Amino acid sequence: MASSSDPARLTPVAAEKARLCILAARLRTRRMKFTDIATELGLSSPQAAKQAVSVGLGLMPAENFAETRREINEELDELSRETWKLLDNPAPMTTVSGKLVINPATGQPYADRMAELAARRLLLDINKRRAVANGTDAPKQSVTFSGTLEDLRAEVERKQRELEAAEAGDGGGGGRSAAVAIGSGRRQDTQASP
């Protein structure tokens, strides 16, 4: 039986859930609505479909994800173009009953500032979504190393051997994980949690 700590081996139920999530992500990249995805896959709600799409995007193989990212960016580009059209040609302000509000000095209708504000918010949301899709919203990470170049190369080689051993199945340390305090150039062993 697969353990929860071994992602390479999934139970049949977990494998089916992963397959369903990846399928949901693929349907979303074809511009299918969340309600339609939920119906198609037998999910309980559009919110469940949205969650499945989110999980599926994380599970997709890299080559599929690159295609998905391209499709997402195309969709976001189209949304941006349409939103800019709204900003370039603002809607006229109307009363609750639908009558135009006219500027007495010019005789022209006032621009609807609420519609403009909504379009600007939409642009902001589109740019946030683009940042998430392309990974530019991730926090910056940096590593410092105080030691010689030879020490750094040796540490990289040691880590590669640990990774290869872990992938081969022996865990690379008998239940222990080694963490490197890069900033100080020293190794620190910590007991892995059970």
Write the pLDDT tens digit of every residue in 3-54.
444 445 668 777 888 888 888 988 887 888 999 999 999 999 999 999 998 8
Do the Cβ atoms of 67 and 75 come closer than 8 Å?
no
Can you give the residue ranges of every domain in the chain?
1-60, 62-139, 149-191
Residue with tokens 């290869």: 164
Q: What is the C-alpha to C-alpha distance for residues 160 and 47, in angstroms, rounded to an integer?
A: 41
Of the given ranges (61-65, 103-107, 113-117), which has the lowest mean pLDDT? 61-65
How much is the pTM? 0.45
pLDDT in tens, 109-155: 999 999 999 999 999 999 998 888 887 776 666 667 677 888 878 88
CA distances from 132 to 39, 86, 127 (A): 27, 24, 9
* Residues whose CB falls within 8 Å of the CB of residue 39, separated by 6 or more in sequence, listed in order: none
